[in-house]
Amino acid sequence: MNLEQLRSFVEVARFGNFTRAAEELYLAQPSLSRQIAALEQDLGAQLFHRARGGSTLTAAGTSLLPLARRMLADADSVRRELAELAGLERGRVRLGATPTLCISLVAEVLSAFHAEHPGIDLHLSEQGSRRLLDELGGGELDLALITTSDAASAGAAERFTVTALLVEELVVVSSAGAPPVTTRHAIGLADVARLPQIVFSSTYDLRATTDAAFRAAGLLPDVVLEGAEMDAVLRFVERGLGVAIVPAMVLIDRPGLRSVRLEAPTLERTISLARPADVAPTAAVEVMQRTIADTATTFAARAGKTMRLASR
């Protein structure tokens, strides 16, 4: 019994037809028939009921099918792992990140990673921190970039390995084409509350953070638009519709925006990388982790005082 025989068996079972299975496998039909016959002889059991209208599984074939599929999947996994060890020519990385990170840090990370390892398949999930941790715990992701200042990370240390990467301030942004909102180097939260504001959807972790800050200060902000996603918020601010409180990171390469820091106490968030604590990372995932750490270091250097590397 060999893998080619098992693959032929699975394809005949899938199509219920030797001719169609042979076409799928790029084999001549007599060759496929010989493979199935040899497999039946090795196993000592007939696997298909052969009829003019098609082929159906016998009881023995029905028992073999899930085992054959699992053996083929295991063989594919072995090939992928060995290919990664041979130079990351093939493989897969499933990365999750929050929306604000997807338009900033993650864009740089994926660009750098793909340039070095174009053969690695990349999958991205853009969700809030809570949902990302659920996906990570469910085996749907290999890595997740989350904001660990949230309640989302409560108890995360028990199930995940969480590494803090960056600590960044939230800043007030306005249109670069409009007069500055203040001539000072920083602005107080009370002054921000009097400015027309564009605020995020209630599903955003940032929305909860800023709402809590205004409530704690006894302030009611002047909201002109709410419910927008990150990219839309930045575009509306660029057009002069209002101001917004956003992570400092999103200002990188955004010449249409100007920013001012908040007066103490500043609002901050910590960006962390999480992975399952009980799953050994593949070679591709390890390289992705290094790429993320290197890119975070570059971002901290470019952002100046509004962002710093977390102590590791």
Q: Are 110 and 284 in contact, with CB atoms under 8 Å apart?
A: no
* Stretch 33-41: mean pLDDT: 93
- Of the residues 55, 85, 115, which one is the last residue of a structural domain? 85
Task: Write the CA distances from 237 to 104, 204, 208, 241, integer angstroms.
Answer: 17, 18, 20, 6
Residues 81 and 95 in one domain: no
Domain of residue 252: give its range.
91-312
68 and 39 fall within a common domain: yes
**DSSP, residue by residue, 139-208:** TS-SEEEEETTSGGGTTHHHHEEEEEEEEEEEEEEEETTS--S-SSSEE-HHHHHTSEEEEE-TTSHHHH
Same domain, 112 and 69: no
Same domain? For 225 and 248 the reply is yes
Q: Token pair of 203, please?
A: 């599903």
Rounded to an integer, the average pLDDT of 143-154 is 68
Tell me what the mean pLDDT of segment 32-48 comes to.
Answer: 93
Domain boundary residue among 32, 50, 85? 85
Q: What contacts 31, CB < 8 A, 6 or more positions away?
A: 22
Name which residue leads in pLDDT, 8 or 264.
8
pLDDT digits (tens, 9 = 90+) for 113-127: 999 888 888 999 998
What confidence tens digit (pLDDT) does each residue in 225-263 have?
A: 998 888 899 999 999 999 999 998 888 788 999 999 999
Confidence of residue 152 (pLDDT cuts 50, 70, 90): very low
**Residue pLDDT, tens place only, 94-115:** 999 998 898 889 999 999 999 9
3-state secondary structure of 119: coil
Model pLDDT for residues 183-212, shown as the tens digit of each residue: 999 999 999 999 999 999 887 878 888 999
Asked whether 17 and 30 are in contact (CB, 8 A), the reply is: no
Q: Rounded to 10 degrees, what is the CA torsion of 172, 176, 298, 122? A: 90
We report the CATH number of the domain holding residue 112 as 3.40.190.290
Residues 134 and 226 in one domain: yes
CATH assignment at residue 81: 1.10.10.10
- Hey, what amino acid is at 123? H
Q: Is 223 helix (H, G, I), strand (E, B) or coil?
A: strand
For residues 286-304, give the mean pLDDT: 89
Find the length of the chain: 312
pTM, to two decimals: 0.65
Same domain, 125 and 139: yes
Rounded CA gap, 293 and 296, in Å?
A: 5
Phi-psi region of 206 (alpha: psi -120 to 50; beta: other; left: phi over 0): alpha
